[in-house]
Structure 1
Amino acid sequence: MNTAGHSEATERRGLELTPFRGLRYDPDRVGSLAAVTSPPYDVVVRPDGLHHLQSADPHNIVRLILPQAGTPAERTEQAADTLRRWLAEGVLAADREPGLYVYEQRDGDGMLQRGLIGALRVSEPEEGVVLPHEDVMPPVVADRAALMRATSANLEPLLLTYRGDGVTADVIERTAERSPLLATTTEDGFRHRLWSLTDPADVRLVQSDLAPRQALIADGHHRWATYRRLRAEHPSPSPWDYGLVLLVDTVRYPLRVRAIHRLLHGLPVTDALTALAGHFRVRRLAVTLPKAMEVLADASCAGNAFLLAGDGAFHLVDRPDPALLARTVPADRPAAWRTLDATVLHATLLAHLWRVPEDSPAHVAYIHDTAATVAKAEQDGSTAVLMHPVREDVVRELARQGVTMPRKSTSFGPKPASGLVLRALDV
């Protein structure tokens, strides 16, 4: 990969997206492209999710992004061995010519998303180029860093959004009129297509358009933190100065913003409700899950609201005591942050009323799928806390102010499928 022309970070601003030689599956060496893909590593939530994906094809990408072995060191070495073997066998092969990649996702409801996959220069926080909006968990960053070091690869792109004026989107749409490099439909019903963008004039047009812009991390805060850690470990210039991303212009292609729910292990719903007495209004809802989520959406228009589940019913929790919020929510943040549902959940409910340590996986699990969260809570006798999503404009404005939201506050989507294009740092 070309790393010429590097200078100190302070001399550059904006998004610098660079072509690379993508690693892609050879369709003749695998059962099907759909069978080797996976959701991002942190979205495999079904109890049998990992086994299901591993069984789909012996070359499924989860064998790289979520290797299974006895110790962390054995897991990362297993991933490195697997990648070396797949490269030697031709299961994965690098494209001959460096390029950016136009990536398209469609679902059966008419949703269309297109963006550009490329190697993005890893900027420092003070540059204000890539805006995080959530905190990260150091053990997860350490795990992802070990995996990337061992494989010397970016195995899946993180998702960034920006607000464009149509220049790059026009190039993307023109490219999407050609025959794609690949097309497949995954089991979730999404259709995926990928094109290579190699024309020097188009690449320069895209790079010029992106140069003054900033991006919001929609999905992949831990991978971005990992890119920054690995860049700091290697003298610049080097391939570690860049990380694999998917950039989506949300002016042209708005993303869906969904909530990430909480599963509170070891906390029965009855105990959770008892602790809320006198502090929140609680109403039992004898309705279906979709209807309960509609009620939650309506309640969220008036203030903080949550749904608790796990005992066969749904309980709407809203109208918190203002005095309680004043005592428990930190006052040194903007009002937009103090009034977030996730802020109230973590500062008031988890820390104060329920006394659940949010940093402990033994106590709190974060699950994207609403029905899966409820099913798991009912299975385990735990409490599911169902959330209403935050609007993208609120997330972006807080990020511009340098204010991070409570971790796992939002789920932007659709997320890119893992396994369609990888980036090897030594190619």
Structure 2
Amino acid sequence: MSALHPIPVGWASTGKTGAQNYDEFADDAEITALVAANPDSMLGVEMPHRTPEAAAAGLDFAAALPAASARLDGLVERGQLTPFADAIAVYRIGDRFLGVFCLVDTAEIAAGPGAPGRVIRNEEVFAAKVAERTALIRTLGVLTSPVLLVQADGDALRDALADVVGRLGEPTATDVDQHGLTHEVWLVGPGADRDALLAAADAGELVVADGNHRSLAAQEAGLSRFLAVVAPASSATIQPYQRLLRQLPIPLPDALDRLRASGAGVRAVDGRPSTPARGTVVLYADGRTYEVTLPPAVGGVVDRLDHTIVEQLLVRQVLGLTPDHPSISYIGGDYPAGWLAAEVDAGRAALAVLLAPVTVEDFVDVNLARATMPRKSTWFTPKARTGLVLADVHADLGAAGPAAPPGPDREASPSGGERTADAQPEALSR
């Protein structure tokens, strides 16, 4: 039985709504600046407490949720989002990434090693982030950002996507991200192409490459299906995922001594910090760069990952912190080593921790074992944009929310209200 489905009721961007996902930023002030520059950005919906208005009023996430609903309704009213029905969406990023927007059964998310389910969620999560995403789903009644799922063997899917893209003509939606990459979306309604793409995507195991928190939030919200982009693993690469400690609980010399006492090799080196080779971690503080040779680890593939050793040895044992401590910022691959060093030099952080990226081979080994990656260890690129394709959670997704499912004469607005369906979607015929 198929685990992948078309989107019964959704909305596609007509421009300006595309944005980085809520968790791609090293500093919340960046979100506020981006929303100020583009009020139609989906960031204003996904992070309502970081809009200029909410920031000025000092609102927290829960207090700003009603504004998220109003902002989303405003995007529809202004024509920034257009409705569609019973479709999937082909997705191309630049000249390499090909994937498909669709819905995936939450029942297929495996609960752990040995548990049934073809969707493998492979990374530890932060409970507070899951709670925020769950509250947003329940408030909006709409999924605004997809979970990225990759197929380990996706040659058939890539071939099918390439074939369809070559015949689709002009895209339904186009967006350009902060790296200059063009994101293109084509809606595909009922027919042979839609069936062929769903069949190609609905093969083998699907690994969560991005969106562990969003997939769990869909489950917590009681959804029977979640919004996803399914893509061949060959479409994405893994970049470094670094750490900044905004404050240190102990003096740096004491931390270095504790690392040495644990069996790690520590030496000061000349020059600015850079991403190290596997087995070595680079620390930068007080204008000095240190290379730390990690002690040998025992256990399975997860225990041997640099990110695991850093979390257990440096964060927990040496510094006495938990991984979700507010002084720790997790910095994705969009931010180079020079940016982290500049944060330390400017006094906005006390310590930069640079690690080698996880290899694709290790990532695959962990997932084949149905094991769990350490937190914030895989930064897949390119990133799927939020705000390009949205899905109504009341249309066959099983959510309990403020609005009834769309009827034959009326359809739900994104935030759960109603609007007339006099104008039927034209996007499918573009």
Mapped partners of 1:261, 1:26: distance in 2 = 35
Identify the range of structure 1 (216-225 vs 265-274) with the bigger mean alpha-carbon deviation. 265-274
Mapped partners of 1:319, 1:78: distance in 2 = 47
- Answering whether residue 318 of structure 2 is matched by residue 353 of structure 1, we say yes
1:409 is paired with a residue whose SS is: coil
Partner residue of 1:413?
381
Partner residue of 2:23?
42
1:160 is paired with a residue whose SS is: strand
Mapped partners of 1:89, 1:276: distance in 2 = 57
Partner residue of 2:65?
76
- Answering whether residue 314 of structure 2 is matched by residue 365 of structure 1, we say no
- Answering whether residue 104 of structure 2 is matched by residue 120 of structure 1, we say yes
Task: Give the TM-score of the pair, scaled to structure 1.
Answer: 0.81
- Answering whether residue 186 of structure 2 is matched by residue 198 of structure 1, we say no
Residue 381 of structure 1: how far off its partner (Å)? 4.7
Partner residue of 1:262?
243
Alignment check: 8 A CA contact 2:47 2:61 kept:
no
- Answering whether residue 353 of structure 2 is matched by residue 376 of structure 1, we say no
1:265-320, CA deviations, whole angstroms, 9 ceiling, x for partnerless residues? 3226444323323432123232344xx32xx12xx2xxx21010132232111142
Mapped partners of 1:175, 1:21: distance in 2 = 22
Residue 224 of structure 1: how far off its partner (Å)? 0.6
Question: Which structure 2 residues correspond to residues 295-334 of structure 1 after superposition, within 5 A?
Answer: 296-297=276-277, 300=278, 304-320=279-295, 322=296, 334=299
Task: Give the TM-score of the pair, scaled to structure 2.
Answer: 0.80
Partner residue of 1:277?
260
Distance 1:37 1:372, change over 3 A: farther
Percentage identity across paired residues of the two chains: 24
1:335 is paired with a residue whose SS is: coil
From 403, 406, 410, the equivalent of 2:371 is 403
Partner residue of 1:157?
146
- Answering whether residue 225 of structure 2 is matched by residue 242 of structure 1, we say yes
Distance 1:164 1:311, change over 3 A: same
Q: Residue type matched to 1:150 in 2?
A: T
Partner residue of 1:129?
118
Mapped partners of 2:9, 2:173: distance in 1 = 16
- Answering whether residue 360 of structure 2 is matched by residue 392 of structure 1, we say yes
Partner residue of 2:90?
102
Partner residue of 1:18?
6
Distance 1:37 1:210, change over 3 A: closer
Show structure 2 runs of 5+ residues with no match. 395-411, 413-430
Show structure 1 runs of 5+ residues with no match. 1-11, 28-32, 232-239, 326-330
Alignment size in residue pairs? 373
Alignment check: 8 A CA contact 1:366 1:408 kept:
yes
Mapped partners of 2:30, 2:154: distance in 1 = 39
Partner residue of 1:139?
128
Mapped partners of 2:133, 2:259: distance in 1 = 38
Q: Residue type matched to 2:228 in 1?
A: V
1:84-113, CA deviations, whole angstroms, 9 ceiling, x for partnerless residues? 233234332212x4221111112xxxx611
- Answering whether residue 310 of structure 2 is matched by residue 342 of structure 1, we say no
Q: RMSD between aligned alpha carbons? A: 2.2
Residue 120 of structure 1: how far off its partner (Å)? 1.4
1:43 is paired with a residue whose SS is: coil
